[in-house]
Amino acid sequence: MMCCNVAVVCHEGLFDRWANCRLMTTSKKPWPPSRDEKPVKTCITEAWVYHLARLFVHAIAERSSNVIVTQRDELCVSIAGLCHDLGHGPLSHVFDGPFMLAANPDARWRVWSWKLSILIEGAFCVIEEFWLQHEKGSVLMFDRICKYDFVQKALLEYLDEDDFIFIRELIDPPIERFTEEGKWKYRGRPLEKSFLYDIVSNSIDSVDVDKFDYLLRDSHHAAIAIPFNQNSVMRLMDWMRPLDVIEQFPNGRTLKYSRICFAIKVTDDVDSVGQSRYMLHEKLYSHHTVRAYEYMILQALISADPYLQFEGDDHRLYQLSRTYENLGAFLKTDDSIIQMVENSSLDELKSARRILRDLSFRILPKLIGTVMMRNSNNCTQVVMLLQAF
């Protein structure tokens, strides 16, 4: 059951987009048993991460005697779980990875400074630009949600400016938690509550509810058995607590802060997270047929890019590789771009349609060899060798 003050965040135009976005990219085609379909007009995938985040932070609040976890903390972590993946583009990592690298390598998200007064007035000050990682896009989506009057009214009743900063940091945490001088880098919560940053997006070891969600989701939809399961989640939640840890940095400085730690008795459950991720990469994400599908879709999108245009909030048209410049245009992109190309009669899209037609008949490039490289500088030589073969 979702709290009413969190449910208001599920703004229809943003979350309904998920009905046409598959997080398993092209894996549905090579895997016929795949059940990678999300119900229309729901945010079910995000709601599951919200649910896990809420369960974990509530469990910590009940068991922590040395630190107080407030209801505001719980609300912020829950909202971050709900919004953490909103920045995904169509076809998931195919879009923000190989496609953008090929079609528009200079693309950057513009991330704005966060001031509640600036947000309400509708004016932003650009401070940094980042490569198109979906976490940065998710922060921008959260900012966009918060500009709606009814969302502001619901959230400002419970949250202040530090809480909004905290949510943004939970969605996209800095990789380094301390400055070179040894000062706590985060602004949303003090050092005493550093363990809260381990729940949604753990930048240190990636053991977080986001990973739990996609391991369970993708293994279920692709019918692949993995050691990590829902019982593993419950055991980890039952046997965790925040503890102080001491970390030594390369400059010799030692710093103490709180992390979520697990009991020795659930070591196998913790290990199963990494084992399951490896299994899914071997059997699904990096499967040679999946890679072949991704390659062909990539070629089709690159060919069609100049002719796939979407209207932004400023009523200008943006081609697919530039939709990041306007969130209104970006929100109109989802997996239906494939059907847009297939159903188009434009002569300019003839090449892209031919690629997608071959894809539908499973006419795929064949795997001719695999080379393990320790040095990326040898990549060109390896490609020339494979081409000669």
Active-site residue numbers?
134
Q: What is d(CA 113, CA 128) in angstroms, rounded to the nearest whole number?
A: 8
Q: Provide CB contacts within 8 A for 267, sequence distance 6+.
A: none
Q: Provide CB contacts within 8 A for 156, sequence distance 6+.
A: none
Q: What is d(CA 77, CA 380) in angstroms, rounded to the nearest whole number?
A: 45
Q: What is d(CA 270, CA 232) in angstroms, rounded to the nearest whole number?
A: 8
Residue 260 DSSP class: E
**3-class SS at 91?**
coil
Residue 32 DSSP class: T
How many CA atoms, within 13 angstroms, populate the side-chain half-sphere of residue 100? 22
The torsion of the CA quartet 276, 269, 22, 294, rounded to 10 degrees, works out to -20
Q: What is d(CA 185, CA 165) in angstroms, rounded to the nearest whole number?
A: 12
Q: Tell me the pairing of strands 309-311 and 317-319.
A: antiparallel
